[in-house]
Structure 1
Amino acid sequence: MSTVNLIAIRDGESNGGFYSPAKEKAAIRGPFQHRFYIFRRLRHITKLKLFLLVLSALCGVVFVLSRFSFTFGWNLHSSSSSFAPSRGGYTVLINTWKRNYLLKQSVAHYASCHGTDAIHVVWSENDPPSNSLKEYINNIVIAKSKTAHKPKLKFDVNEKDNLNNRFKPIEDLRTDAIFSVDDDVIVPCGALDFAFTVWQTAPSAMVGFVPRMHLLDEKKDTHASYKYGGWWSVWWMGTYSMVLSKAAFFHRKYLDLYTYQMPASIRDYVTNERNCEDIAMSLLVANATAAPPIWVKGKIYEIGSSGISSLKDHSSKRHKCLNDFVALYGALPLVSANVKAVDSRNEWFW
């Protein structure tokens, strides 16, 4: 018996190498069994592809719902997870102008954000706000607030219409953080609270949602000319050097610096041109810190239909503002950056 086994092994060697049980099983299965095996493998691969396709579709549905959740009033993510009362919260500074219907929507939204400690409305119309309007908006704050500590509401009334009014110092502030926003801009509470945590890591910087940039137009000898770059310039170049105060955090100290220490010629310029107060604030902060602002990635909603940016020759006026301000400073204080803060909890990949 042992001799037969040895011969069988040697025959295997002579017919193609060392003996292999796997080879023997494959030979027994034959070509039909091999084709069946391939078919079965393909079936498993097809099932995997189908599973991945369904998973991708579900992810797409969740992504779309998350993008449109604000519009429909849904809340797929907690808006308070990044805020703790011990951090002090922030003051929402809303600049408004003859758009009470927008002001009511804006106040109602920001009163619902957990991090809002106070809401200040910058009022610069000829007539002061009526008692009925103030009472109505105060009731909105009480009704919409989701915390036991209700945000403090105050109208900062100015006698003259002036864009510099939005950066006047505020008495009795309880927070260092100021969130400056236009009455027609809505930032979801989750994104707002995340931006606040980003600002806390760099409280001297401007931290905002609307990036802009400067571009070197031409340079002759020691004289340089710059262009103001909008969103598409930021997107194309992948860099920015400003975040606009229409939706940005900054420290309360910059209200004093803007009003009392920034060159009066710049404030006069803003008064006369009725434009560019946001560029002036960006230059002020950059000059004080010698550092770039921080852009926070987040969806914002513009609920108004018109504003200064919709006026004719808006871009050319911004170019002129930038260069005139640089001339007043004697140098360009803006610092460029190419990074942005992203809340990884709301991203698929990071």
Structure 2
Amino acid sequence: MTTLNLIAIRDGENNGGFYSPAKEKASIRGPYQHRFHIFWRLRRIAKLKFFLLVFCALCGVVLFSSRISSSFGWNVHSPSSAFSPSRGGYTVLMNTWKRNSLLKQSVAHYASCRGTDAIHVVWSESDRPSDSLKTYLRKKVMAKSRAALKPNFKFDVNEEDNLNNRFKPIKDLRTDAIFSVDDDVIVPCDALDFAFTTWQTAPSSMVGFVPRMHWLSEKKDTHASYYYGGWWSVWWTGSYSMVLSKAAFFHRKYLDMYTNQMPASIRDYVTRERNCEDIAMSLLVANATAAPPIWVKGKIHEIGSYGISSLQDHSSKRHKCLNDFVSLYGNIPLVSTNVKAVDARNEWFW
């Protein structure tokens, strides 16, 4: 008897069928239930039509605005025009170190960006790049480039391992713009193009994707101590005073200034500590311009699994570098700002 209660109740008076409470409830409702079902379906169809009308209206607004903008001389797809031969492009200056697989990925990617006029790989390993690696990368550049004038590709081979090598002057450059990047950093081409356009509005500034901050930690008499803040400091305070050269544009004149005009004591420091060449470059540009850098909002992808920044004492070394450089300068040339460049075409609200 109890097992029947788990499934259904046997009804001997109704042709030996099974009695179902749910079926009885539905039969009692009769035609009213059917009417409710029809109403519910009509309501769904009405909602669907409403959303389709809204979608069509939005598409119409976008189409109308694009036609209006073109009629007034505006072109919302103009970044490609920034790379006409008369305006030039940029030179990708890529620092690498014993990561040929990452180097191959990065070179292939930046060769596909329309603004790339040349790619220079800063090579500081004891063994020179192999002929097979050179041949592979040259073929990859030719295959990936979408420009009529293919980018120049070259290894800048150095005799010693030194982080200062990444900022040595380069002969026969065809561009004023240098895009300094690490071999494990990928910046999408559209974001790179926008950053280049931003740099063209302020070619003496550093324009980059990785902001950092400094602030006064303590001051005793004439001695001041500064704190180097990473990404979370930028996010928390909403301000920054540096953009790192692992992904940044700057004018080629700063290569000469870094190598030949910046105090030799700073280059010696970088050589000895094997760190902080990016802070040194930020200080150099800030000292020359008395202006802040420009942070470009954009996603970048780090394809490597490790680096200097992953070391345990990385932050403490950066604090020390900053304060040692400031003491060599005699002041703090960095200028803080809370302004960033954003491509409004990629924003829903602006």
Aligning the two structures, in what range does the TM-score lie when normalised by the shorter sequence? 0.7 to 0.9
Amino acid aligned to 1:86 = S
- The SS at the match of 1:85 is coil
Secondary structure in structure 1 of the residue aligned to 2:121: strand
Q: Retained in 1: the 8 A contact 2:206–2:249?
A: yes
Displacement, 1:51?
Answer: 3.2
Unaligned runs of 5+ in 1: 1-42, 60-76
Q: Is the 8 A contact 2:124 2:161 kept in 1?
A: yes
2:238 matched to which residue of 1?
238
* CA-based RMSD: 2.4
Q: Residues of 1 paired with 2:272 and 2:49: CA distance?
A: 64
- Residue 88 of structure 1: aligned partner: 88
Residues 165-244 of structure 1 aligned to structure 2 (within 5 Å) = 165-244=165-244
Q: Quick one: distance in 2 between partners of 1:123 and 1:78?
A: 35
Distance 1:164 1:89 in 2: 25
Kept after mapping to 1: 8 A contact 2:177/2:249: yes
- Measure, in 1, the Cα distance between the counterparts of 2:333 and 2:86: 35
| Residue 135 in structure 1 maps to residue 135 in structure 2 | yes
Amino acid at match of 2:101: Y
**Matching of residues 51-66 of structure 1 within 5 Å:** 51=51
Deviation at 1:311, TM superposition (A): 1.2
**Alignment check: 8 A CA contact 1:118 1:153 kept:** yes
Where in structure 2 are the equivalents of 1:1-350 lying within 5 Å?
A: 47=47, 51=51, 80=80, 82-350=82-350
1:32 is matched with none
Contact 1:80 1:190 survives alignment (8 Å): no
Partner Cα separation in structure 2 for residue 49 and residue 125 of structure 1: 65
Q: What SS is found at the alignment partner of 2:286?
A: helix
Letter in structure 2 aligned against 1:286? A
Query: 1:63 — aligned with what?
Result: none
Cα distance in structure 2, aligned partners of 1:221 and 1:314: 29
**Aligned residues of 2:79 and 2:197 also touching (Cα < 8 A):** no
Matched position secondary structure for 1:172: coil
Question: Aligned with 1:153: secondary structure?
Answer: strand
Cα deviation, residue 322, structure 1: 0.2
* 1:136, distance to aligned residue in structure 2 (A): 0.5
Counterpart of 2:173 in 1: which secondary structure? coil
Query: TM-score, normalized by length of structure 2?
Result: 0.79
- Give, in whole Å, the separation in 1 of the partners of 2:265 and 2:111: 36
**Does the 8 A contact of 2:163 with 2:275 survive in 1?**
yes
The alpha-carbon deviation at position 83 of structure 1 amounts to 3.6
The offset of 1:86, in angstroms, is 2.3
| Aligned 8 A contact 1:162 1:274 in 2 | yes
For 1:128 and 1:281, locate their aligned partners in 2 and report how far apart those are by CA, in whole Å: 27
Consecutive unaligned residues of structure 2, counting only runs of 5 or more, are 1-42, 60-76
The amino acid of 2:213's aligned partner reads M
SS of the equivalent of 2:281 reads helix
Opposite residue 216 of structure 1, the aligned amino acid is: L
Counterparts of 1:301 and 1:108 in 2: how far apart (Å)? 15
Q: TM-score, normalised by structure 1?
A: 0.79
How far apart are residue 84 of structure 1 and its match? 3.1
Deviations 1:166-201 (A, max 9, x none): 000001100000000000000000010110010000
Q: 3-state SS of the aligned residue for 2:212?
A: strand
Rounded to whole Å, the distance in 2 between the matches of 1:202 and 1:340 is 13
Q: Distance in 1 between matches of 2:206 and 2:79?
A: 22
Would you say the 8 A contact 1:79–1:113 is kept in 2?
A: no
Asked if 2 retains the 8 angstrom alpha-carbon contact of 1:79 and 1:189, the reply is no
Instruction: Tell me the residue number matched to 2:32.
Output: none
Pick closer, same or farther for the CA change 1:125–1:270 going to 2, 3 Å: same
AA aligned to 2:150 is: K
Q: Secondary structure at the match of 1:254?
A: helix
The size of the alignment, in residue pairs, is: 289
